[in-house]
Amino acid sequence: AQSVTQLDSQVPVFEEAPVELRCNYSSSVSVYLFWYVQYPNQGLQLLLKYLSGSTLVKGINGFEAEFNKSQTSFHLRKPSVHISDTAEYFCAVKGYGGSQGNLIFGKGTKLSVKP
Amino acid sequence: KAGVTQTPRYLIKTRGQQVTLSCSPISGHRSVSWYQQTPGQGLQFLFEYFSETQRNKGNFPGRFSGRQFSNSRSEMNVSTLELGDSALYLCASSLGLAAYNEQFFGPGTRLTVL
């Protein structure tokens, strides 16, 4: 079984400041890792994913994340945020092998970007 | 290419009623998954369908059921609605069952149970 912990439920930040949204996971099997964003009254949109290879993954809208296997973390970063980045962000894992193909989500982090 | 569509977008029902939600996946996608999103429990997996067969099921009571048609469109049904079933129900489609396949989400159906 897998679980995902997003350490901050809310992150307020000023426009053009850097931001890091933290995500830790636990799993008894190998996993793929994902970050999704949800804008108000919308579904989820994939920001980036880690499947294999380089541990630094670049996604859309200037976001990137680093997979750290020893710390079982997959933190999301952006060097300079915009007002339009205000949304809720979800970290998710998906085990592979066997019948563990569904996404397991964290509780989400609400990013609030202030002018 | 059109995205995942869900109908209806909003629904109000009363306790004890039943409801059917519909999801049309992206053309060519054969796997459809359903998730429930609530403020308290977050995003929880309901079930996944592929080739008209349920392949995986989350930890929900039997009142929650679903099906998939030959054109990959999917429906989920909730019978004997309870207040706690109020949630955003999200459908996601992907090319297949492989774990590396990206899931594309629809806008959701907001169900309110009174």
Q: Does A42 touch chain B (CB under 8 A)?
A: yes
Position A30 confidence tier, pLDDT thresholds 50, 70, 90: confident
Residues of A in contact with B97 (CB under 8 A): 101
Asked if pLDDT for residue A105 goes beyond 60, the answer is yes
DSSP A7: S
Out of B58, B98, B102, the one facing A49 most closely (by C-beta) is B102
The per-residue pLDDT for A102 is: 83
Asked if pLDDT for residue A100 goes beyond 60, the answer is no
First to last CA, chain A: 41
Q: What is the mean pLDDT of chain A?
A: 93
Q: Does B97 touch chain A (CB under 8 A)?
A: yes
Q: Does B90 touch chain A (CB under 8 A)?
A: yes
Q: Residue B30: exposed, middle, or buried by beta-carbon count in 10 A (0-12, 13-18, 19+)?
A: middle
Average pLDDT over residues A22-50: 93
Residue spans of alpha helices (H) in A23-115: none
Residue A51 to chain B, least CA–CA distance (Å): 7
A47-85 residue pLDDT tens: 999 998 899 999 999 999 999 999 999 999 999 999 999
For the ranges A12-16, A53-57, A68-72, A96-100, the lowest mean pLDDT is seen at: A96-100
**Probe site for chain A from B38, B103, B110, B112 (most A CB atoms < 10 A):** B103
Residues of B in contact with A47 (CB under 8 A): none
Residues of A in contact with B50 (CB under 8 A): none
Q: How far apart are CA A47 and CA A63, in angstroms?
A: 7
Per the listing, tokens 């930040």 go with A13
Q: Does A105 touch chain B (CB under 8 A)?
A: yes
B44-79 residue pLDDT tens: 999 999 999 999 899 999 999 999 999 999 999 999
Out of A36, A45, A101, the one facing B56 most closely (by C-beta) is A101
Q: How far apart are CA B100 and CA B103, in angstroms?
A: 9
Q: Does B42 touch chain A (CB under 8 A)?
A: yes
Residues of A in contact with B104 (CB under 8 A): 46
B5-46 residue pLDDT tens: 999 999 999 999 999 999 999 999 999 999 999 999 999 999
> Of how many residues is chain A composed?
115
Residues of A in contact with B109 (CB under 8 A): none
Residue B88 to chain A, least CA–CA distance (Å): 9
Give, in order, the Cα–Cα distances in Å from A79 to each of A36, A50, B66: 18, 20, 43
Position A101 confidence tier, pLDDT thresholds 50, 70, 90: low
The per-residue pLDDT for B63 is: 97
Looking at the DSSP bridge assignments, the partners of residue B105 are B92
Average pLDDT over residues A31-58: 93
